[in-house]
Structure 1
């Protein structure tokens, strides 16, 4: 059962996971406020500062409206815990419709905020080195928050800039000079801006332009030769002109951040975008339970956690424990702000039947899958994409048979995850049901958070 991690704070829902470890929701038992708890396992044999300690030290020094706040840290054995501002709007890729993208207006707003955040990072001499929609979070006001500084480094200090040689980042977003041994070492800022430009293409087109920026990739080779129809035909004239400047293979010719900020597409209003080739379709807006760590956060850290936390959504607390239910139910604003995520499917059969039907769909679509818990499936979709699916009963007390199937990306591209999810959702239409009325039963599913954490550990 979940308990207090630090005084007055309870560990609840898993928000994300990956090779680094896990991110969970941490909820204040008295106020219902919440922060994110990132857990990273370090190599106990390593000497000196661990990568997690270096990440936390760099991250805590950053203060900007479009950079996620690091509020504090703790260590316990080989586990390093970071307390982060909770961005309840999710990841940017949630706003991108696969193969369609999003309207120019919202894309431009996010683009400006991303550039603003990156400009701040570079002014502090920090290179992010893994900018992608999965690391661009959204707060409750739908504002961008740059997150995950696990690959970040200082490239400028005391007015002196150093070049970088490490190959890192996520392949489709990595600049050509990062991938090419002949072009290393490379300058940090242009490489970050290349990644940001690929993010812009994903926002406007709903797809990535290539698997990697290397001549042996056909789509990238077509870009170098000035050919290729997808995804460039989905961009407006101004947007394509901007992307051509931002995705210059030669970093010395690539637009600087200041030039990107001054470009007419960046500075335009939504009404100026009259040459769009497409209609703006509708879009919507590690471990098992951590053990109590040694030591306590300072009073200033605790104040930071409260001042930068946000009210938890009931949706985010679906896996909270029975002992926490009464605290949750006192937070009426939580129920009023319930947000149903796009990666959820309501069905009109019980949990076992829902998962049986899902297994049938997965087999038809030739996805590898297996149970890691009686109500949780691990799914592999190819191309490095992995996800989890679990079944939760919504109306246990009332006898309502409605069940929620929730899907969560574990590894791989967020856009590809969403594309595969939509295919699975369509295949389950024969048992689909409308969401049940908002009820307290939604806060008390039959799967404890510890069960889910342990099941996820198995994979």
Structure 2
């Protein structure tokens, strides 16, 4: 579950560059993007199952499918992936990223921790954000619209006074930094502070450790992904036919037409995308109590060592009143709704 601030989402949506014909409000934009995210359907993208809104709180809850084996690699690590395994991870990631870009969605936070491993060994891209939709063919994004993880940010996103950048190119940089991390166990640029890290990302060349030894094709691929100048950086279509990615053409990736299908949303999708759940924390508490057949708060037991006695709290009285005053099973149905 990803918990987002509605106020922050509205600020981000208001900052996004709009075409002259676009007159939608920030809230309309947020709901439309969520509707698109909910309709995404690709084997290399984590599925958004439900979006819940607590009207009295600032939180918006995005519920994603559970990918049980977790992230492909936790960095830093002394046990990085082999080149063959990293090759498989990047190929899956490229197909997922191509699908997102086809929907005009920039991920903006690609890293090993957001690449999740299925039980079948395939990779799914996780942690999709809202307000990361780009406009126009140049994939322009605003620097105020997204942040990302410092060690994986592209140089062009760090330039003072530069308010826009190409989102597609920034995602390719992050994927290049991810590939470097998968094979060497740590990020390509390391510093003791964020400002120093940003200076290294902008100015320093990539230094390849002596071990492990990687193929020349892989090294060249990483260098092209971590090109400082965004306009000269390898693009996703070029990556899909790169000699390292395809093993010199032996294992070609599916074409864009084979891999992508455009998601369309209508007014009904947008209006029904969010479920309003008053006091979500209370709902979770009540459902847990019902499941345990107990009216003691189950979340206090681990803290105090013993559960509170039933019948004392307003919540407990509310549930007990519902049980005694309602028809059998009616309060279960109300909670499910």
Q: State whether structure 2 residue 221 is matched by structure 1 residue 230.
A: no
Pick from 47, 62, 86: which aligns with 2:66?
Answer: 86
1:165, distance to aligned residue in structure 2 (A)? 2.9
- In 2, the alpha carbon distance for the partners of 1:453 and 1:118 equals 43
Partner residue in 1 for 2:282: 291
Counterpart-to-counterpart distance in 2, 1:264 and 1:253: 18
Q: How far apart are the structure 2 equivalents of 1:322 and 1:72?
A: 22
Where 1:291 maps in the other structure, the secondary structure is: helix
Partner-residue secondary structure (3-state), 1:127: coil
What's the CA shift string for 1:279-321, capped at 9, x where partnerless?
Answer: xxxxxxxxx982228xxxxxxxxxxxxxxxxxxxxxxxxxx99
**1:208–1:452: structure 2 CA closer, same or farther, 3 Å change rule?**
farther
* 2:39 paired residue number: 61
Shift of the alpha carbon at 1:261? 1.4
When residues 321 and 267 of structure 1 are mapped into structure 2, their CA distance, relative to the original with a 3 A threshold, is farther
Shift of 1:85: 1.3
Matched, 1:114 2:105: no
Query: Which structure's residues are more often strand, by fraction?
Result: 1
Residue 27 of structure 2 is aligned to residue 49 of structure 1: yes
> Matches of 2:234 and 2:222 in 1, distance apart?
9
Query: Which residue is equivalent to 2:22?
Result: none
How many equivalent pairs are there?
Answer: 250
- Establish whether residue 186 from structure 1 lines up as the match of residue 165 from structure 2: yes
Return the offset for 1:265: 1.2
**Displacement, 1:75?**
1.6
Question: Contact 2:98–2:236 at 8 Å: present in 1 too?
Answer: yes
| 2:113 aligned residue (134, 139, 142) | 134
Which aligned pairs between 1:169-248 and structure 2 lie closer than 5 A? 169-181=148-160, 183-211=162-190, 216-217=196-197, 220=201, 223-224=204-205, 228-230=207-209, 234-248=213-227
Tell me how far 1:40 sits from its aligned partner. Answer: 3.7
| Structure 2 residue 63 is matched with structure 1 residue 72 | no
Name the counterpart of 1:150.
129
Residue 188 of structure 2 aligns to a residue whose secondary structure is coil
- Does structure 2 retain, via aligned residues, the 8 Å contact 1:245–1:255? yes
Counterpart CA distance in 2 for 1:115 and 1:215 is 30
User: Aligned equivalents of 1:453 and 1:110: distance in 2?
Assistant: 41
| Secondary structure at 2:50 match in 1 | strand
Aligned to 2:104: 125
Deviation above 6 Å: which 4+ runs of structure 1? Answer: none
Q: State the superposition RMSD in angstroms.
A: 4.0
Instruction: Tell me how far apart the structure 2 counterparts of residues 221 and 161 of structure 1 sit (CA, whole Å).
Output: 21
Checking the alignment, whether the CA contact within 8 Å between 2:143 and 2:165 is kept in structure 1 is yes
Secondary structure of the equivalent of 1:252? helix
Rounded Cα–Cα distance in structure 1 between residues aligned with 2:30 and 2:299? 25
| Distance of 1:101 and 1:204 partners within structure 2 | 5
**CA displacement 1:247-299 (0-9 Å, x = unmatched):** 10001110011111111111129x99xxxxxxxxxxxxxxx982228xxxxxx
User: Shift in Å at residue 237 of structure 1?
Assistant: 2.1
Go from structure 1 to structure 2 and tell me whether the alpha carbon gap of 1:323 and 1:182 turns closer, same or farther (over 3 Å shift). Answer: closer
CA contact (8 A) 1:55 1:149 kept: no
TM-score (norm 1): 0.47
For residues 3 and 281 of structure 2, the distance between their equivalents in structure 1, rounded to whole angstroms, comes to 8
* Alpha-carbon contact 2:73-2:80 (below 8 Å) kept: no
With over 3 angstroms needed to count, the CA separation of the structure-2 counterparts of 1:132 and 1:231, relative to structure 1, is farther
Using a 3 Å threshold, how does the CA distance of structure 1 residues 172 and 192 change in structure 2: closer, same or farther? same
TM-score w.r.t. length of structure 2: 0.62
Alpha-carbon displacement from aligned partner over 1:157-211 (angstroms, at most 9, x marks no partner): 5x67544333611100000000112554211100010001100001111111114
How far has the Cα of 1:450 moved from its partner? 5.8
Gaps of 5+ in 1: 1-22, 24-37, 273-287, 294-319, 326-446, 455-459
Q: Which of 237, 240, 259 matches 1:261?
A: 240
Say if 2:30 and 2:131, in contact at 8 Å, map to a contact too: no
